[in-house]
Amino acid sequence: MVTPASLLLNQKLARARSLLRRDEAVRGIDELIAGIESYAPKQLPGKVRFDIEVLLQECVNELNRQPHVRDLFKSLTKNSKARVPYSPGQEDKLMPILLLVQKALKNAQLAQQQATEAEQAKRRNDLEQKGLEYLKNGDFSRGKSALRILAEEYGQEPKLLARIGEWLIQYKLYFEAAELLEKAITRFPKDNNAYTLVIECYQAMRDREKIESTYIRAIKEFGRHPYTLLNLARLYQKWNRKEEAFHLAQEAWDKDPSLEEAKAIVEENS
């Protein structure tokens, strides 16, 4: 009779087999070990036990197909044909071998992960250094290209897009900088430096509409802080939108009475 425990064991082993067939060796052996740990053959009827043993054999067969497992046994035994052994009813002998393989696989996975991270870090650094060097030497085309690749490949890193934007601004590449900074704001809406920098770009480009919309977005994102309100009021005053300048300056002054410039804008437009 199939019991809840045997059904759960069957599911674990079936999942292990599936993972191993997809070459997900570490996850597969984790499931296989978990299944064997819960296996109590004496408590199961013969037919159920037979089905479990068939599944176990299939899992071991799939495990022996993994290149890392074959390499491990070759290095341990100097025998290229050595494999994980399994005989039905001898699961207690199988478990120590599986634990050894599990440890080796996880060590190999960690080493591969560390190697990949080191390679990625080197590529990131190379792109950054090349981009900055090209810009410094006046080769803006290659500099922009290197930094664009850096942004595409590593743009999920917090603050990186804003930093690239700042480098581009230093060389007056405002359009390219604004494009990246807009992506930074979309991806990291709490990066207040990106707002400051993109406004600097739009001011250099004299794009009033985008300056205004960026300030409004910043206010929605960070709240109605007095300095932000004053900055927008200052622009409205400069653009001769006096009523809007008055209301924003009044609000900024109410929030922070030390803002003399806000007070001056209020008094000038009263």
19 occurs within a structural domain: yes
Single out the residue in 86, 113, 140 at which a domain terminates: 113
Q: Is the pLDDT reported for residue 237 higher than 90?
A: yes
181 occurs within a structural domain: no
- How confident is the model over 152-179, as a mean pLDDT? 96
Report the domain count for the chain: 2
Q: In 3D, which of 181, 243, 242 has the Cα closest to residue 210?
A: 181
Q: Is the pLDDT reported for residue 198 higher than 70?
A: yes
pLDDT of residue 2: 60
> Can you give the residue range of the structural domain that contains 270?
224-270
Single out the residue in 82, 113, 144 at which a domain terminates: 113
Could you report the per-residue pLDDT of 144-155, keeping only the tens digit for each? 999 999 999 999
Could you report the per-residue pLDDT of 34-88, keeping only the tens digit for each? 988 888 777 777 888 888 889 999 999 998 888 888 888 777 777 777 788 888 8
SS3 for 47-96 is HHHHHHHHHHHHHHHHHHCCHHHHHHHHHHHCCCCCCCCCCCCCHHHHHH
Question: pLDDT band at residue 1, thresholds of 50, 70 and 90?
Answer: low
Distances (CA, A) of 82 to 70, 75, 77, 101, 143: 7, 10, 7, 13, 54
More confident residue, 264 or 91: 264
Question: pLDDT band at residue 27, thresholds of 50, 70 and 90?
Answer: very high
208 occurs within a structural domain: no
- 221: tokens are 């994102």
- How confident is the model over 179-197, as a mean pLDDT? 95
94 occurs within a structural domain: yes
217 occurs within a structural domain: no
Which residue matches tokens 């599944």? 55
Q: Is the pLDDT reported for residue 270 higher than 80?
A: no
Q: What is the pTM of this model?
A: 0.70
Residues 201, 174: contact at Cβ < 8 Å? yes
51 occurs within a structural domain: yes
- How confident is the model over 84-93, as a mean pLDDT? 84
CA dist., res. 53 & res. 40, Å (int) = 12
58 occurs within a structural domain: yes
166 occurs within a structural domain: no
Single out the residue in 92, 113, 134 at which a domain terminates: 113
